[in-house]
Amino acid sequence: MKQPENIGFVSTRFAGTDGVSLEAAKWAEVLWQGGHVSFWYGGVLDRDPGVSLCIPEAFFDHSENQWINSQLWGCTRRSPEVSRRIRELASYLKSTLYRFRERFDLDVLIIENALTIPMHVPLGVAITEFLLETEMPAIAHHHDFMWERQRFQISAVDDYLEMAFPPRVPHLQHVVINQAAREEIAWRKGLPSILVPNVFDFENPPG
């Protein structure tokens, strides 16, 4: 029988009734029924502080990430200053992922949409490097890819998009929510994935 594991959920935000937060809560409930314990990492959290690590810079709407985003989209050239600030923020966030793993003795990560849509490029880079350095088992739960949004079609960070959205990491299992996404990730990235559709909880609707 498989031993209970400590599962770390990672995203920019786990709070409120957005789709990512709701789906992550459902997954955590299923894992809890199997004896596993969930922990939470993000820039904005409404989870129990005793099982959470809140890093404000991981939020997609943090001022530093807002400035970086203002320099990335609709153009194809980025300045050395932008490159430097991406690297510095990614390096800091990676250090906090190490802290998250150590604090809660994590066995597996579940990354919710942070390697899917590039709302926070430094966080995606940080997660990818963390996974490559640690070889930690992980699941990337993809909700909406960058190629589904017109905003991300012209960018000054094609190198980082290729690296991290989503990344090719041997011990990372990709999970998508519909068949179209499964076909797209295979065609665009050459990545296999598992299909797990979102399911609405009619007994406990978001309030």
Residue 156 sits in a domain whose CATH number is 3.40.50
Q: What would the mean pLDDT of 161-177 be, rounded to a whole number?
A: 96
In-domain check, residue 33: yes
- What does the pLDDT average to over 67-94? 98
Note whether residue 207 is domain-resident: no
- pLDDT tens-digit series, residues 109-129: 999 999 999 999 999 999 999
pLDDT digits (tens, 9 = 90+) for 62-77: 999 999 999 999 999 9
Q: Is residue 204 part of a domain?
A: no
Rounded to the nearest integer, the mean pLDDT of the chain is: 94
Upstream peptide bond of 166 is cis (omega within 30 degrees of 0): yes
Distances (CA, A) of 13 to 2, 186, 192: 30, 27, 26
| The pLDDT value given to residue 198 | 79
Which residue range(s) make up the domain with 85?
6-195
Q: What is the pLDDT of residues 5-61, one digit of tens each?
A: 999 999 999 999 888 999 999 999 999 999 999 999 999 999 999 999 999 999 999
103 pLDDT more than 70: yes
* DSSP conformation class of 73: B
How many structural domains does the chain have? 1
State both tokens at 178: 């519909």
Report whether pLDDT(207) > 70.
no
| pLDDT the model gives residue 202 | 39
Indicate whether 117 belongs to any domain. yes
Task: Determine the Cα–Cα distance for residues 113 and 90; give it in Å rounded to an integer.
Answer: 17
Q: Count other C-beta atoms under 10 Å from residue 23's C-beta.
A: 18
Spell out the residues 6+ positions from residue 151 whose beta carbon is closer than 8 angstroms to its own. Answer: 73
- Find the mean pLDDT for residues 82-89: 99
Q: What is the pLDDT of residue 180?
A: 93
- Please say if the pLDDT value at position 1 is more than 60: no
Residue 200, in any domain of the structure: no
The confidence score (pLDDT) of residue 204 equals 55
Q: What is the pLDDT of residue 147?
A: 92
Phi-psi region of 89 (alpha: psi -120 to 50; beta: other; left: phi over 0): alpha
- Does residue 189 surpass a pLDDT of 50? yes
Q: How confident is the model at residue 203 (pLDDT cuts 50, 70, 90)?
A: low
Instruction: Please check whether residue 62 lies inside any domain of the structure.
Output: yes
1 located within any domain: no
Return the pLDDT at 3. 84
| Pairwise CA distance, residues 189 & 187, whole Å | 6
Judge whether 205 lies within some domain. no
